[in-house]
Amino acid sequence: MNMTKKEALAFLALNQPMPNDYDITQELINKYNNVRLYFSANPAEEAIPLFLQSFGEGDGFGVYQLVEDFLYKCDKKHYSFKYRQHTGKSSDNKKCPMLVYIIGNGFSR
């Protein structure tokens, strides 16, 4: 799927957070995954807080955990700062515990 950075950022901004797993549609999670793939190929600092705030209840059918592919490509100082800002405001870190662990302890890749 072809998309622009503007379209990908707009999608994330409109889906803060994504619906819970029991409410999400396959079409919506597929679009989220396409946005994730876009930013994995085209990392952008401004997408970091949008992803960190996008996780709905559940695991997004396994897609939320894959956001780490994007984060691995970002400069650690950017995602660490954004992560600390985000978790300081909310208890959403329970929504995707693997990402919380990885970001909190630093990537080892």
pLDDT in tens, 32-62: 999 999 999 999 999 998 998 899 999 999 9
Whether 79 has a pLDDT exceeding 70, the answer reads no
What amino acid is encoded at 5 in this protein? K
Query: Kind and range of the H or E element at 11?
Result: helix 5-14
C-beta separation of 47 from 12 below 8 A: yes
Confidence of residue 72 (pLDDT cuts 50, 70, 90): confident
Domain count, the chain: 1
Residue 71, pLDDT score: 85
Lowest mean pLDDT among 22-31, 50-59, 80-89: 80-89
Whether 91 has a pLDDT exceeding 60, the answer reads no
Host domain of residue 40: 5-105
Distant-in-sequence, close-in-space partners of 59: CB < 8 Å, separation ≥ 6: 21, 65, 96
Distances in Å between the Cα of 32 and the Cα atoms of 12, 38, 48, 68 are: 8, 10, 14, 14
Whether 109 has a pLDDT exceeding 90, the answer reads no
Average the pLDDT over 3-32 and give the result: 97
